[in-house]
Chains A and B, each alone.
Chain A
Amino acid sequence: MRIGVVTFPGSLDDHDAARAVRVAGGDPVVLWHADADVRGVDAVVLPGGFSYGDYLRAGAIAGMAPVMSAVVDAARGGMPVLGICNGFQVLCEAHLLPGAMLRNEHLRFVCRDQRLRVENAATSWTSAYGQGQEIVVPLKNIDGCYVADERTLDELEAEGRVAFRYVGENPNGSLRDIAGITNARGNVVGLMPHPEHAVDALTGPTTDGLGFFTSVLEGMAHA
């Protein structure tokens, strides 16, 4: 199974995402921001970082990168797409997911091991988890405060599209403790925490993040 990892200028966790794909048993494929296509991959990861410096608004320029039109088309066609941190911001800017991220409530960058609850274990990226399972993965961002209007939030809740919620202290002021969401179809998932940094007990706080990548590989194997 070939999983593409997009490198934008300023992407930082692209190598880690590729490593996580490898650890889970997939073949990572490098995708370049200026490419016009996704090289026939089976799924795409938009990694963390500060694409184009995030100088305009986090993810705003990346959302319009050439490769993104191909990603958007593929996602609308049902291809699994995971946006991690900056990747989540890019998915929102590309309108594949609703809402936006503001600066953390306390206005500081935060790096910590974060407990999350998997609220939807039926997406392409969460099927390896149990519904309601709690996992611990690193969180590291400065623009991580998820916001959307009340109606959107209510819709997300009603449709089970809140995929992850922060457990314990809310680290960034995200509305309704939302850490990640999915689209209605369940193939596009975005979250602020970093599952790719929790696939190896030596370098991560846990191996809880591996399930994201095994989920998608398993799903494709049965597709």
Chain B
Amino acid sequence: MTMELDTTEVAAKTPDHEQPWAELGLKEHEYDRIRDILGRRPTNAELAMYSVMWSEHCSYKSSKVHLRRFGEQAPHSDALLVGMGENAGVVDVGHGYAVTFKIESHNHPSYVEPYQGAATGVGGIVRDILAMGARPIAVMDPLRFGPMDAPDTKRVLPGVVAGIGGYGNCLGLPNIGGEVVFDPSYAANPLVNALCVGVLRHEDIHLANASGVGNKIVLFGARTGGDGIGGASILASESFDDTKPSKRPSVQVGDPFMEKVLIECCLELFSARVVEGIQDLGAAGISCATSELASNGDGGMHVDLEKVLLRDPSLTPGEILMSESQERMMGVVAPENLDAFLAITAKWDVETAVIGEVTDTGRLVIDWHGETIVDVDPRTVAHDGPVYERPYERPAWQDDLQAASPSSLPRPAGGAQLRETLLQLAAAPNLASKSWVTDQYDRYVLGNTVLAQPENAGVVRIDDQTGLGVAVATDGNGRYTKLDPYAGAQLALAEAYRNVATSGARPVAVTDCLNFGSPEDPGVMWQFAEAVRGLADGCQTLGTPVTGGNVSLYNQTGDVAILPTPVVGVLGVLDDVARRTPLGFRETGHAIYLLGTTREEFGGSEWAHVVHGHLGGLPPAVDLDAERQLGEILIAAARDGLIDAAHDLSDGGLAQALVESTLRYGVGARVAVPGGIDPFVFLFSESQGRALVAVSPDTDERFVRLCAERGYPNQRIGVVGGAALSVDDLFDVDLDELRRAHESTFPAAFDA
């Protein structure tokens, strides 16, 4: 069968030609709008471009109206060099250095094909960071799965972890943190989020725009193949449904070796100053890169699509435009620099093709063997996609959920039951040691990792001379967010902020990955709107702007959405990483202080979840001013060398913090329950704004004075030492027994 090439000329003459807009994920009114914009029907290639670029994943059409808050309410920050809207935000960290960081989701592909889905998630976010002109220096992966004992979790989790390790380890980026969380709502919608941090000099910032008429458009890296066609529109922007065909062909396949070479090659291109603009190829492939580069630059571009190097010569022009083959970059290169550019890509054995040039026509024109198959205003593809004001409404069940307080749940009483609860929580999937996962990631490569999991935050050194470095933590609590989306988003922010400050770093910026169900459900849309509002307000209070991130919608199976899960990443700066605070107790005789106020707060707690399978009531109260004060104390104490160890309090409360602090170096602690508080509340409440610190007798007085000066509540609750964790005369747990409980859960579940 021969098919006539669907040129713009043909399209103009055949207005009634039936087109597969629905199969490509477009709604009828969206298709009609494309026809209005073009004044004719789109060609097949144009339809392919619009369908991927107007997908939820690429266009943020349901979330845009809410996300504006992050810009409108952004706190003033002198540190912000590049804000939202670019591949990633860029923050000044001093000494001429800047840091760029961003988090993204790769949820649906990781469910369909866990290894490749997770691997290419790492690859994609790394290229975003690279495209800013930065050297990627670390990654971290917040992960969420269905119940640990579900058969499908045994397929998904090991595959995802192996994929992240297989790609990240081969790429040579240390994996310094993240999360592993289990909840039944993620059973058919695991969340695989990936964060990358990069570093660059201020003068090296590169932006994605195609300026300078006559400049060459160069596609380099891996060849274009048939993998990942329609990944953004079909896979990422629809719910799963058994009635549709398998989506495995929509998952991309990664080649980490190619990406490693591409990183080194790009960094050499940047340092040789032979690149005017650069864009990574991710979702929507060439469609995205050409339309975004053109509309952010002088507005015109001409491409000869047959010049694209192919892995599969049978691909149609539309498929080439939509392919999401990995490890590709698009550069804008001045003609006089082209030879130097090609010499560098040749040195790294990176295949390169000059596929077009920048024009002043204001049109993106793509030819296929001399015949025009795309002729569009690139802005209409990249920026003027549909914007939906989706209806949203507080779900009817929200009141009942909040009324179902955990206050009447039976609680452990007496030493033996408290001891049993502590061990039960220490071994629970969400709180158990994650070494089984993180030992599959290289945390040492690049030689700058100062702290990595299970520490409060990952800390990497940027500059050997000064010791300048950054700390990053990600957090999110879907249970809290379900109980109260506004508060839940702020609690995620508060926890990540606290983790960064606990490690001794000054929090400066935020990235977020907003994982929610279907935006077509008004209840889900309400959760989303509330979470965005909470996060924007919270960032304003804490003075940490959102610099970028990602929205992942349609995380649901049938009518059942995942727990609303905003994952928040906070970046902090350490002027000297030698001043960082580790979490483990080390020295016998150090005093243990609890900072902050403990209230009876069990709504959404790990205790209610693990012991009673209960979710109801209200999450812990948020007090961001208190978080800020606590942060200032922890940062000052680290800088002045007043504390030896610190651990933030979050899921599982004080008990879990004590478990982790004692097991880290195998040094025990003896703790006394202060008067006037119930031991159960003291040990297991999840009140916010709290941290545990260990203080040497030499600095004890100065530390107490620091807290007093700032008027922050603090109590001396115990002393470091021994081979057990002891709480008053209530109970003792030998550290060996505690370690067995805490460290056996993952091997028992996944080694079998």
Q: Which residues of A contact B172 (CB under 8 A)?
A: 12-13, 49
Interface size bracket, A side: 20 to 34
B338 interface contact, C-beta 8 A: no
B443 interface contact, C-beta 8 A: yes
Q: Which residues of B contact A19 (CB under 8 A)?
A: 447, 464
A39 interface contact, C-beta 8 A: no
Contact (A140, B450) CB under 8 Å given A108-B440, A194-B444? no
* Number of A-B contacts defined by CB within 8 Å: 85
Encoded as 1 (CB less than 8 Å from any B CB) or 0, chain A from 1 to 37 comes to 0000000011011011001000000000000000000
Is A140 within 8 A of B442, CB to CB? yes
- Of the candidates B257, B440, B444, the one having the most CB atoms from chain A within 10 angstroms of its own CB is B444
What CA separation (Å) do A112 and B443 show in the bound complex? 9
Is A108 within 8 A of B162, CB to CB? yes
Name the contact of A196 in the complex, choosing from B447, B449, B464 (C-beta under 8 A).
Answer: B447
A202 interface contact, C-beta 8 A: yes
Which residues of B, 451-495, contact A by the 8 Å Cβ criterion? 461, 464
Name the contact of A140 in the complex, choosing from B256, B257, B445 (C-beta under 8 A).
Answer: B445
Q: Which residues of B contact A173 (CB under 8 A)?
A: none
What CA separation (Å) do A12 and B446 show in the bound complex? 7
What CA separation (Å) do A13 and B444 show in the bound complex? 9
A138 interface contact, C-beta 8 A: yes
Query: Which of B113-121, B163-171, B557-565 lies at the interface with chain A?
Result: B163-171
Is B444 within 8 A of A197, CB to CB? yes
B441 interface contact, C-beta 8 A: yes
| Closest residue on chain A to residue B464 by CB atoms | A19
A111 interface contact, C-beta 8 A: yes
Distance from B361 Cβ to chain A, minimum over Cβ atoms (Å): 40
Interface size bracket, B side: 20 to 34
A53 interface contact, C-beta 8 A: yes
Name the contact of A12 in the complex, choosing from B349, B445, B450, B577 (C-beta under 8 A).
Answer: B445
What CA separation (Å) do A164 and B250 show in the bound complex? 47
B348 interface contact, C-beta 8 A: yes
What CA separation (Å) do A30 and B337 show in the bound complex? 26
| Closest residue on chain B to residue A14 by CB atoms | B172
Q: Which residues of B contact A203 (CB under 8 A)?
A: 444, 447-450, 461
Which residues of B, 347-361, contact A by the 8 Å Cβ criterion? 348-349
What CA separation (Å) do A18 and B170 show in the bound complex? 19
Is B162 within 8 A of A9, CB to CB? no
Is B165 within 8 A of A16, CB to CB? no
A167 interface contact, C-beta 8 A: no
Distance from B274 Cβ to chain A, minimum over Cβ atoms (Å): 20
Is B166 within 8 A of A109, CB to CB? yes
| Closest residue on chain A to residue B161 by CB atoms | A108
| Closest residue on chain A to residue B578 by CB atoms | A202
| Closest residue on chain A to residue B265 by CB atoms | A9
Contact (A9, B257) CB under 8 Å given A109-B169, A110-B439, A202-B450? yes
B255 interface contact, C-beta 8 A: yes
What CA separation (Å) do A112 and B439 show in the bound complex? 6
Q: Which residues of B contact A9 (CB under 8 A)?
A: 257, 260-261, 348-349
Which residues of A, 32-71, contact B by the 8 Å Cβ criterion? 48-50, 52-55
A204 interface contact, C-beta 8 A: yes
Distance from A106 Cβ to chain B, minimum over Cβ atoms (Å): 8
Is A53 within 8 A of B256, CB to CB? yes
Encoded as 1 (CB less than 8 Å from any A CB) or 0, chain B from 362 to 395 comes to 0000000000000000000000000000000000
Q: Which residues of B contact A140 (CB under 8 A)?
A: 169, 442, 444-445
What CA separation (Å) do A125 and B62 show in the bound complex? 61
What CA separation (Å) do A110 and B445 show in the bound complex? 13
Name the contact of B444 in the complex, choosing from A49, A108, A111, A142 (C-beta under 8 A).
Answer: A111
Is A109 within 8 A of B445, CB to CB? no
Is B440 within 8 A of A109, CB to CB? yes
Q: Which residues of B contact A108 (CB under 8 A)?
A: 162, 165, 440
Is B444 within 8 A of A138, CB to CB? yes
Q: List 29 A-B contacts (CB under 8 A).
A: A9-B257, A9-B261, A10-B170, A12-B172, A12-B260, A13-B172, A15-B447, A16-B447, A49-B172, A52-B257, A53-B258, A54-B257, A106-B751, A108-B162, A109-B165, A109-B169, A110-B439, A111-B438, A111-B440, A112-B439, A138-B444, A142-B169, A194-B444, A196-B447, A200-B447, A202-B461, A203-B448, A203-B449, A203-B461
Assuming A10-B170, A109-B441, what are 14 further A-B pairs, CB within 8 angstroms? A9-B260, A9-B349, A10-B260, A10-B261, A16-B445, A19-B464, A50-B256, A55-B257, A109-B169, A142-B169, A202-B450, A202-B461, A203-B447, A204-B444
4 smallest A-B Cβ distances: which pairs? A53-B257, A12-B172, A16-B447, A197-B444
